[in-house]
């Protein structure tokens, strides 16, 4: 089911399947969100929960027992319930069920909150651990943005710019896109001109970076600013070795599996370990211009 919220600057459409953003359009009629062409990538902005990235053998261990888990978890494939909606905000909820317990043995409530504030979209995550043991999880966003945004522009007219100068490290991946354990400095201190071959080795995952990044046209100066103050990792991606007309900017709380290691979730250091009967909250935002 499609739901829509709007104010005088923005209109957001969200699918209850996966709580996925489907359209983010300005009052001027500019569509900022990638529209899911299956020739490149059929999704638009999936919610990543309770794991981000790939798991070795599509599985993990918890207290010695093996569980199946697909790439980026299962939330994006499940129906959320709308629990609250106003003209400019929306709250969607997913609760653990018999279906989720087979893959993830925890009693949880996940809420995704969308709120429009002028030309800014605020995205909130609320994860409640309703069980009596620590609950490990990862959560993050995966929005794709149209590049170019306007007719007459091309992909190479766009750049990425961190708000604050920094020396980020690129998280090392194997050719199969698992953690390699070999991180290295990435030559992106302030600005990076977009080229399709930046993604020939799949996603560029950064850490130790500025917590705000802008994607903009050097021609029209249109773009988006993504702010993620409490996310330690940032993914930048489009489908490898293509001329895909979009870029994903992905704030992540955690990282994928190591190559050939079936991870024990209770020991994976980058996962959030949420105490029993506690709630985790995080918020990031997309500002359009």
| CA gap 289, 286 in Å, rounded | 10
Q: Tell me, what's the pLDDT at 152?
A: 97
With tokens 């317990």, the residue in question is 101
* Preceding amide of 127 cis, omega within 30: no
Instruction: Determine how many CB atoms are found less than 10 A away from the CB of residue 243.
Output: 9
What stretch of H or E contains 86?
none
pLDDT band at 132 (very low <50, low <70, confident <90, very high): very high
Taking residues 186-196, report their average pLDDT.
Answer: 93
Mean pLDDT for the stretch of residues 246-266: 97
Q: What is the pLDDT of residues 51-71, one digit of tens each?
A: 999 999 999 999 999 999 999
* DSSP element (H, E) containing 285: strand 279-288
Q: What is the pLDDT of residue 104?
A: 98
| Residue 223 to residue 261: CA distance in whole angstroms | 39
Ranges of beta strands (E only) in 130-266 are 135-137, 140-141, 144-146, 158-162, 169-170, 184-185, 191-193, 204-207, 212-217, 223-227, 233-237, 246-252
pLDDT of the residue at 123:
99
Instruction: Report pLDDT digits (tens) over 212-225.
Output: 999 999 999 999 99
Domains of the chain plus CATH, in order, are 2-288 (2.70.98.10)
Annotate 21-59 with b (16+ C-beta within 10 A) or e (fewer): bbbbbbeeeeebbbeeeeeebebbbbbbbbbbbbbbeee
For residue 39, is pLDDT > 90?
A: yes
Q: What is the mean pLDDT of residues 105-116?
A: 98
Residue 137 has pLDDT above 90, yes or no: yes
> What confidence category does residue 189 fall into, taking pLDDT thresholds of 50, 70 and 90?
confident
User: What per-residue confidence (pLDDT) applies to 66?
Assistant: 98
Average pLDDT over residues 9-27: 98
Phi-psi domain of 72 (left: phi exceeds 0; alpha: psi -120 through 50; beta: other): left
* In the predicted structure, residue 273 carries a pLDDT above the cut 90: yes
State percent of the chain over pLDDT 90.
Answer: 99
- The predicted structure's pLDDT at residue 201: 94
Mean per-residue pLDDT of the chain: 97
Measure the CA–CA gap between 91 and 283, rounded to whole angstroms: 13
* Dist CA 119 CA 6 (whole Å): 10
- Dist CA 56 CA 70 (whole Å): 10
What predicted TM-score, i.e. pTM, was given to this entire model? 0.97
pLDDT at 265 over 90: yes
């Amino acid at each position: 089911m499609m739901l829509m919220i709007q104010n005088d600057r923005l209109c957001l459409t969200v699918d209850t399947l996966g709580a996925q953003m489907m359209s983010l359009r300005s009052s001027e009629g500019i569509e900022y969100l990638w529209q899911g062409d299956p020739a490149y990538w059929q999704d638009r902005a999936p919610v990543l929960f309770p794991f981000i990235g790939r798991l070795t053998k599509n599985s993990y261990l918890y207290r010695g027992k093996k569980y199946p888990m697909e790439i980026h978890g299962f939330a994006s494939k499940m129906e959320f319930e709308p629990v609250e909606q106003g003209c400019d905000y929306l709250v969607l909820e997913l609760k653990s069920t018999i279906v989720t317990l087979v893959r993830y043995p925890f009693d949880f409530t996940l809420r995704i909150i969308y709120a429009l504030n002028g030309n800014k979209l605020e995205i909130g995550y609320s994860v409640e651990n309703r069980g009596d043991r620590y609950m490990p999880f990862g959560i993050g966003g995966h929005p794709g943005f149209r590049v170019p945004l306007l007719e007459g522009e091309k992909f190479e007219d766009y750049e990425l710019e961190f708000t604050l100068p920094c020396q980020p490290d690129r998280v090392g991946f194997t050719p199969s896109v698992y953690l390699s354990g070999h991180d290295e400095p990435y030559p992106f201190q302030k600005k990076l001109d977009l080229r399709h071959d930046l993604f020939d080795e799949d996603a560029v995952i950064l850490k130790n970076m500025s917590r705000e990044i802008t994607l903009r046209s050097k021609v029209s100066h249109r773009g988006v600013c993504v702010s993620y103050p409490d996310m330690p990792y940032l993914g930048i991606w489009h489908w490898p070795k293509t001329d895909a007309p979009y870029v994903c900017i992905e704030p992540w709380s955690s990282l994928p599996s190591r190559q050939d290691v079936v991870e024990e979730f209770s020991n994976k250091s980058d996962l959030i370990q949420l105490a029993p009967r506690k709630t985790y909250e995080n918020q990031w935002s997309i500002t359009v211009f």
